[in-house]
C-alpha cells in the first residue's frame, strides 16, 4: 500500500514567516517599532498556556513584538472588557487576540464584539465575519487561512471539486466552508457537524476532507475516499493507558490508518498547527499596515 504524502506545515510556516521578514523590517523602520500582537489569556487551561507561549515565541522569532496579558479564571466579563478596551486604545498594539476557551461566566460571542475590528487578527468580530461571508475578507481566521495555504502549496485542485468539512465552529469549519466555496477556490462544499447522519458515507465523497470536529481519531479509513486530500485540524493530548507512565502523545481527528487511503495528509503535530501561527503573524503584520493606512 502506498502511504499518503505528508503535507509539511512546519516547513511551509517557516517559509511564510521568512517572507514576512521584509514587511516586518520595513514597518519597523517606518514606525520605529515592530508590529505588535497582544494575546489575552484568561485562566489556567494548560493547553491554552502552551498555545499562548507558542504564539509569543513565534512573534519573537519573526521579529514581531508579542505581549501576553493574563487574567484570573474568576475574572468578571467587565474586567476582560476593560483589558480589551485598553489594548484597543493602545497605539502601540496592532493585533488583539483573546485565547479560547473562556471560563463559563464569559460569553465568547460578546467578547468577539469587544475587540476593535481593525485589530481583530482572529477575524471573529461580526464585522470581519460578515466581510468574509460577503467575499471581501479583511482578516481571514488563522486556521482556515492555514488550511488554504497548505492546499495551495501542494497544488491541490479545488475548482469544481467536492470538499467535505467536519465541524461548523465559527473559527474553523464555518469560515473554511465559506472560503472553499467562494469564487477563486470554487469547490463544492459539504459542511458536516454533530447532527449529520451517515457521516462516513458523506465524508467518503470528499476529494478534499477537512477534519475539525475536535474528536480524537474520529476519521477512519471508511470516511476517506481513495486518493483524497485529508487535512487534520484536530489537536488532542492522549494520555497513556490507565496507570501507564507513558508520556502524553499528540493526535488529531484523523486515525493513522487513513494514511493508506489518502494521497496527501497533514500530520499532527507539524501540519495545520504551525500554519495557524504563521497566519496569525501575517494577520498581525496586515493589521499594522492597515492602521498605518487609515
Ligand atoms: P468546536 O468544538 O468549536 O467545534 C467542533 C465542531 O465539530 C462542531 O461544529 C460540532 O458540531 C462538530 N462535531 C463534533 N463532534 C462531531 C462528530 N462526532 N461528528 C461530526 N461532527 C462533530 O471545535 P473547534 O474550535 O472548531 O476545533 C476543532 C478541533 O480543532 C479541536 O480539536 C481543536 O483543538 C482543533 N484546533 C486546532 C487548531 C490548530 O491550529 N491546529 C486551531 C483551532 C482548533
Residue 291: the pLDDT is 82
What CA–CA distances, in Å, run from 1 to 178, 215, 256?
35, 27, 14
pLDDT at 255 over 70: yes
Phi, psi of 92, deg, nearest 5: -85, 0
Count H helices and E strands in the chain, helices first: 9, 11
Instruction: Report the mean per-residue pLDDT for the chain.
Output: 96
Q: How far is the CA of 167 from the centre of ligand 1 (A)?
A: 5
Distance CA 137, CA 290 (A): 13
16 Cβ inside 6 Å of ligand 1: no
Q: What are phi and psi of 139, to 5 degrees?
A: -115, 120
* Residue located nearest, by CA, to atom 35 of ligand 1: 234
| Nearest-angstrom CA–CA distance, 278 and 264 | 21
Tracing cell 483589558 back to the chain, one arrives at: 83
Compute the distance from residue 137 Cα to the ligand 1 centre, in Å.
Answer: 22
122 is catalytic: yes
| Catalytic (active site) residue 55 | yes
Residue nearest to atom 36 of ligand 1 (CA): 234
Query: Which residue among the candidates 8, 17, 94, 99 is catalytic per the annotation?
Result: 99
List pLDDT tens digits, range 151-178: 999 999 999 999 999 999 999 999 999 9
Q: Check if the beta carbon of residue 272 is closer than 8 Å to that of residue 255.
A: no
pLDDT band at 88 (very low <50, low <70, confident <90, very high): very high
CA pair distance 120, 132, nearest whole angstrom = 13
CA distance 220 to 50: 28
- What CA–CA distance (Å, rounded) separates 199 from 220? 11
- The CA distances from residue 102 to 14, 77, 126, 129, in Å, are 30, 10, 18, 20
Distance 170 CA to ligand 1 centre (A): 10
Its sign, for the CA torsion 22, 24, 25, 26, is positive
At 82, list the grid cell: 476593560
Is residue 119 among the annotated active site residues?
A: no
Phi, psi (deg, nearest 5) at residue 9? -70, -30
211 CA distance to ligand 1 middle (Å): 8
CA distances from 219 to 144, 147, 192, 224 (A): 19, 17, 12, 8
Helix/strand/coil (H, E, C) string of 130-147?
Answer: HHHHCCCCCCCCHHHHHH
Among candidate residues 8, 116, 120, 122, the one labeled active-site is 122
pLDDT 10s digits, 196-225: 999 999 999 999 999 999 999 999 999 999
Question: 292: pLDDT confidence band, cut at 50, 70 and 90?
Answer: low
pLDDT band at 247 (very low <50, low <70, confident <90, very high): confident
Amino acid at each position: 500500500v502506498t502511504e499518503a504524502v505528508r503535507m509539511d506545515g512546519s516547513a511551509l510556516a517557516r517559509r511564510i514567516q521568512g517572507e514576512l521578514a521584509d514587511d516586518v523590517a520595513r514597518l519597523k523602520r517606518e514606525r520605529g517599532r515592530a508590529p505588535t500582537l497582544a494575546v489575552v489569556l484568561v485562566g489556567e487551561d494548560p493547553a491554552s498556556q502552551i498555545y499562548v507561549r507558542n504564539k509569543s515565541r513565534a512573534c519573537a522569532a519573526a521579529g514581531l513584538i508579542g505581549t501576553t496579558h493574563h487574567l484570573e479564571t474568576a475574572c468578571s466579563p467587565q474586567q476582560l472588557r476593560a483589558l480589551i478596551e485598553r489594548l484597543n486604545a493602545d497605539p502601540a498594539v496592532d493585533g488583539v487576540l483573546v485565547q479560547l476557551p473562556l471560563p463559563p461566566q464569559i460569553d465568547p460571542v460578546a467578547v468577539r464584539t469587544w475587540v476593535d475590528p481593525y485589530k481583530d487578527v482572529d477575524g471573529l468580530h461580526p464585522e470581519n465575519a460578515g466581510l468574509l461571508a460577503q467575499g471581501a475578507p479583511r482578516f481571514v481566521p488563522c486556521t482556515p487561512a492555514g488550511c488554504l495555504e497548505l492546499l495551495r502549496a501542494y497544488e491541490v485542485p479545488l475548482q469544481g471539486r467536492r470538499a467535505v468539512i467536519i465541524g461548523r465552529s465559527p473559527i474553523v469549519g464555518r469560515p473554511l466552508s465559506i472560503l472553499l466555496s467562494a469564487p477563486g477556490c470554487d469547490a463544492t462544499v459539504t459542511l458536516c457537524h454533530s447532527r449529520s447522519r451517515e457521516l462516513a458515507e458523506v465524508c467518503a465523497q470528499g476529494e478534499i476532507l477537512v477534519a475539525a470536529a475536535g474528536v480524537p481519531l474520529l476519521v477512519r479509513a471508511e470516511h476517506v475516499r481513495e486518493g483524497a486530500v485529508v487535512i487534520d485540524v484536530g489537536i488532542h493530548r492522549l494520555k497513556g493507558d490507565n496507570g501507564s507512565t507513558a508520556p502524553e502523545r499528540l493526535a488529531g481527528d484523523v486515525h493513522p490508518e487513513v494514511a493508506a487511503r489518502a494521497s496527501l495528509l497533514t500530520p499532527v503535530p507539524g501540519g495545520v498547527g504551525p500554519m495557524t501561527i504563521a497566519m496569525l503573524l501575517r494577520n498581525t503584520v496586515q493589521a499594522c499596515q492597515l492602521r498605518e493606512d487609515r
